[in-house]
Amino acid sequence: MGSDERASRAGRFKQSLLAGDDLAVIAEIKRRSPSRGNLNANLDPAEMAAAYRDGGAACLSVLTNEAMFGGSGDDLAAAAKASGLPVLRKDFITTIDDVHESHDMGADALLLIVADLTGAQLAELHALALSLGMDVLTEVKSESELEVALEAGADVIGVNQREKPKSQTFTMDYQRAVRLAPLLPDHVVKVAESGIAVPGGTTMAAVRDAGYDAALVGEALVTSGNPVERLKELLA
């Protein structure tokens, strides 16, 4: 990728989340999850990405881990081409090679999870991603992780409500996003993740009222049967 193309992509993800006057949606493409099994095993990433665009999504999130989520880099490329929307590579990114791979896939942004990295690693990978023209969604689950993210220079921060205790069973803390919202500085783009708009989960209204700029929504969309209409309902 040339420097001109890299420059044209820089900041697209972050800017799209802030472009509207209301809560933005990052619409997720994933076939299955470790906690729920198959969600939409036979989805067509290009078709779903176009539907998300038509429903009003600001950005896409694409799972590229095959073993856990049934995803791939090809899914990301197909979704980006079909929709024209900025795309987040949602995967377990822990090395310099992972960051370069994300860039080569055509990702506009990548996910860095504070719990998976040391503070020094987080800062290094965050800076590298920015230098390559990608935004970074930095994921936290606690106040202490938020401090690490801010120290590393994170400017797009996602609060993930999913837990993975020692038993390896996945549970949710549906109040975490609202609880941590007051601790997020004004200068960061605020994203609520996991358990959004699912039965018994955190409502879009609660996310909006807590002051978030965006919600990352996956299961509620991929299982809906009509993602265009479901997205329009969530954004209404």
Q: Which residues are identified as catalytic?
A: 28, 30, 90, 139, 160, 193-194
Closest CA to 145 of 178, 172, 180, 171: 180
Tell me whether strands 37-38 and 32-33 are parallel, antiparallel or unpaired: antiparallel
CB under 8 Å to 167, separation ≥6 — which residues?
Answer: none
Q: Positive or negative, the Cα torsion across 157, 160, 161, 167? A: negative
The bridge status of strand 59-63 relative to strand 24-29 is: parallel
Instruction: Fill in the amino acid letter for 97.
Output: D
Instruction: Give the residue from 137, 28, 140, 136 showing the smallest Cα distance to 76.
Output: 28
Place of tokens 């503070």: 119
Q: Which residue has the tokens 């004004």?
A: 186
| Contact between residue 216 and residue 192 where contact means Cβ atoms under 8 Å apart | yes
- Measuring CA to CA, which residue among 75, 63, 118 is closest to residue 95? 118
Q: Residue 78 — φ and ψ, nearest 5°?
A: -65, -40
Measured distance CA(81)–CA(174) in Å, rounded? 34
